[in-house]
Structure 1
Amino acid sequence: MLTRDLAQEIVEETMRRLDRNINIMDENGSIIASGDAVRLDTYHEAAAEVIRTGQTLVISPDNQGLWRGANVGVNLPIMFQNRTVGVIGVTGAPEEILPYGELVKMTTEMMLKQNYLKLQTEWQQITMDIVVEELIRAENQNLQGALHRLDTLKMTMKPPYQLAVVYLPNRTSYSQSVLRMAESIMGNVRLVSSFLNVHTWVIVFYDRAEARVRRDLERLQDLLRNQGIEAQSGMSSSVCSFEDIAYAYQEACAALKLGLKQGRVITGYLEVETQALLSEVPTESKERFMGRHLPKLPEKLLVTLRVFLECNLNIARTAERLEIHRNSLVYRLTQVKELTGYDPQLFQDAISLQFLVWLKE
């Protein structure tokens, strides 16, 4: 825990302020950091005594000879989690430097704790990254490995499971700050998350109702927007099997892809499921279908058709949105029927025309 690099950083930072030589010794009494490079890796008997007793040891001219490798000064135990992990020695007249020594000891222990918490956070996030990767693999899904790592994190993921894929087009280096913001805005939401790459953030929600997940994502989007961070999200349907998390990931990706095309902030898979299924049709079949009908429809009729379908085949609402007379709308729909062979006002024909519009988009 008390590494040479950290010890040397503490020594250099402290000596700038105190203008006194500082030594830091490890649990074996060996000097691992010092303002005097000659003393590195030498044995410090006074430090070994401090390690043994856990008590501050003052070295004066009277007792200096008792401790090999010791200069006049004070040696204080460095405590971490109720254990002496090292010793910090400050050279100088004890009556002058003892108050400074206590301050240096407190600062050292604080830096040690901060470094430990940083390492713990990094370890936890690395473990979570691996868990997410193991869960979303379409092939070679490693469920046992994921469960083992979740156990080390003291986490138990209970169904239902739901995934969100968040796209951050302008992201540079704020992954950790985004994660912290997400935790703060969502409170005790049960989730694991990971950045797959510089722009893609995957969040796996568990033991959470679909409506609640949607609200959590909306709150996250609001937070990101307030921070000036542009983001769009795709959300999967809810699944109850651990194995199906990989399929949920594919759903979230499909929803995000369609949402990006349509300019949506949050796109749920169930909102675009038919369009997503359409994307699985072989490319040649889609091209033949579009090739037969799209060239026959001018842009004005395509726009009219799209709005008519968005209005659920409602003549009055469509005419209002397009700001045209009902008779003009009926005439345009008749033109669509004549050109394609499909009548937009008939449900079965409207389905084929809806596929045509989606493929065009």
Structure 2
Amino acid sequence: MLLLPSLAQKIMYEVKKLLDEDIIIVDTNGSIVASTDEKRVGAFHEGALLSIKERRTVVITKGDTNALKGVKPGVNLPIFFSHDVIGVIGITGNPDQILPYGQLLRKMTELLIQDNYYNEQHEWRSRMLEAFVFDWLHLKDWTAAFLERAKLLQINLEPKRQILLLYFHHNRTLAQKDIWQLHPFLNEQDVIIRWGNDRLLIVQTVDEHTTTDLTLQKIKKMKAFMEDTWHLCTSLGAGQPVLSDQLLHSYEQAERALTVAMKHNRIVFDEELRLEMCLKDISAETKRDFIQRVLGSIIEDVELISTFQAYFDENMSLKATAEALHIHINTLHYRIKKLEQRTKLNLKSSSDVVSLYLALQFLDESTKIN
């Protein structure tokens, strides 16, 4: 493993929190790659090179400053990773005073390097998984290279699979270390990856014991953890189980279910959908035309639009709608009359009620897209 300058700078920043003395970090060539004194970066440090070659702590006294190039009084400690010396951390100051801190600082440095290494490994695997799942969804035929990548990533392509799409409603991107905290909620062969900035995609393994109820319980636990731990408001859409080589079908279903789930921060399974199955296949142009025909006369009236969105959210209950909007029920009756006059709709007509509902659904969709 190489001790890159960016990592060295990060280590120095963390170590500096514990000590006021000047600190340097030196690579295996004896070159200072990070220092609290920026003038020393790039300079050669003979004491550190000696520490690397002999794999031991080197104490630099005032007398040594004339004999060794680029040194100051202090302590140089080799940094180990997997039994190899990958660099040196140097502390400037009175050796007798700073030597007791040396082992502690070296151990902290090695832990930081180890943590960075495993984070990089997780990120590498995460990127590999993301690319693999993308191909899994879109490849028409599995190539030998694809099957080899599945083997490398230890992904079993035999069982049925089900796509779960999870959306979080805050402007936050989860780090890979956050995502790894969700693995206890998943089965061993499930795959979880980032899917854009605000979504997670889970490829769930399905066997004879997998039921909608069990999947729902698993999702609820994971959803509660995310909301309690990261204060994320989440929605989830679940596709239906499919053969592993038909994963795209489950993904499309999950995406459709998520569109519905996002409206109320819910968990929605594709198998629950009825009307939404048809609405998803209507073209954007047809939806725009329909919105204009039904709502064109009130499209700019925010109060009326929001009133009837609430009306349908409350299952067309006048009392519940008035309470939700914090208005008197007579005010609601006035707005209904106003809507009917301006749109020529009759809310006692089933056909007109359906038209209004669909137009508002399409309008909500187009607002989110735009």
Give the alignment's TM-score, normalised by structure 1.
0.65
CA contact (8 A) 2:11 2:109 kept: yes
Closer, same or farther in 2 for the Cα pair 1:9/1:255, shift >3 Å?
A: closer
Closer, same or farther in 2 for the Cα pair 1:167/1:102, shift >3 Å?
A: closer
Does 2:199 align with 1:200? yes
Offset of residue 47 of structure 1? 1.9
> Relative to structure 2, which stretch is displaced further, 98-107 or 214-223?
214-223
CA contact (8 A) 2:172 2:198 kept: no
Offset of residue 221 of structure 1? 3.4
Of the two, which has the highest radius of gyration? Answer: 1
Q: Residue type matched to 2:203 in 1? A: V
Give 1:145-294 correspondences, 5 Å limit.
Answer: 147-168=147-168, 170-176=169-175, 179-184=179-184, 186=185, 188-206=187-205, 208=207, 209-211=209-211, 212-224=214-226, 226=228, 229-241=232-244, 243-258=245-260, 265-272=266-273, 276=277, 280=281
Structure-2 residue corresponding to 1:102: 103
Q: CA RMSD in A?
A: 4.0
Offset of residue 163 of structure 1? 0.6
Offset of residue 161 of structure 1? 0.8
Closer, same or farther in 2 for the Cα pair 1:240/1:142, shift >3 Å?
A: closer
Offset of residue 86 of structure 1? 0.3
Q: Calculate percent identity across the aligned residue pairs.
A: 27
Q: Distance in 1 between matches of 2:20 and 2:262?
A: 59
Q: Say which SS state the counterpart of residue 175 (structure 1) adopts.
A: coil
Offset of residue 249 of structure 1? 0.7
Offset of residue 160 of structure 1? 1.5
CA deviations 1:7-58 (Å, max 9, x no partner) are: 2343455456533332221011112122343433232232222222211122
Offset of residue 124 of structure 1? 2.7
Closer, same or farther in 2 for the Cα pair 1:104/1:224, shift >3 Å?
A: closer
Alignment gaps of 5+ in structure 2: 288-311, 316-348, 362-370
Give 1:10-159 correspondences, 5 Å limit.
Answer: 10-15=11-16, 17-61=18-62, 66-137=67-138, 147-159=147-159
CA contact (8 A) 1:158 1:206 kept: no
CA deviations 1:115-171 (Å, max 9, x no partner) are: 22332333233223222322223x668766655555554444541211112233x22
Q: Say which SS state the counterpart of residue 210 (structure 1) adopts.
A: coil
Q: Distance in 1 between matches of 2:198 and 2:63?
A: 66
Q: Distance in 2 between matches of 1:43 and 1:224?
A: 49
Closer, same or farther in 2 for the Cα pair 1:130/1:19, shift >3 Å?
A: same
Q: Say which SS state the counterpart of residue 116 (structure 1) adopts.
A: helix
Structure-1 residue corresponding to 2:297: none
How many residues align structurally?
293
CA deviations 1:314-347 (Å, max 9, x no partner) are: xxxxxxxxxxxxxxxxxxxxxxxxx99xxxxxxx
Alignment gaps of 5+ in structure 1: 287-302, 307-338, 341-354
CA deviations 1:205-226 (Å, max 9, x no partner) are: 1254431434322322343455
